[in-house]
Structure 1
Amino acid sequence: MAKKKKVVRRAWSKEDLRTLKTMAKAKAGVAKIAKSLKRTPGATSVMAAKHGISLSTT
């Protein structure tokens, strides 16, 4: 049986949120923002929605 990958949950720091806001304002895509924060695109989208940050690239 294959080993399961352990899920590591990291809290969002103020610096993470600042990066999210600045990159969203620059209209970077969700995947690019997620990669720079070392988080999944899903987690990035959820946190952006929670803080009222638009991730629209248009």
Structure 2
Amino acid sequence: MAKKTKNKRREYTKEDVKLLRGHSKARTPVARISRLMKRSEGSLRQKARVLGIGLGHQR
């Protein structure tokens, strides 16, 4: 049997990136951003790393 994944992959839109940058500047906790954007903390951290912005304790 093939293993089912519980989440489908969603691409980041320009609006998502803009929102993530805003939250980074405002120093919003990653857990709160995760709930607002409906994405995992790991996904947000990886995208922030690719964009070269800081999130959470990585500042």
TM-score range, shorter chain: 0.7 to 0.9
- Give SS of 1:43's match: helix
Residue correspondences, number: 56
Q: What is the TM-score with the length of structure 1 in the denominator? A: 0.82
* Greater helix content: 2
Give 1:22's aligned residue: 22
2: CA distance, partners of 1:14 / 1:34 = 17
Q: What is the TM-score with the length of structure 2 in the denominator? A: 0.81
**Structure 1: runs of 5+ lacking an equivalent:** none
2: CA distance, partners of 1:32 / 1:19 = 13
Query: Aligned pair in 2 of structure 1 residues 50, 9: CA closer, same or farther (>3 Å)?
Result: same
TM-superposed deviation, 1:34:
1.3
CA RMSD of the aligned region, Å? 2.0
Give 1:39's aligned residue: 39
Could you list the runs of 4 or more consecutive aligned residues of structure 1 that deviate by over 2 angstroms after TM superposition? 4-7
2: CA distance, partners of 1:46 / 1:13 = 15
**Structure 2: runs of 5+ lacking an equivalent:** none
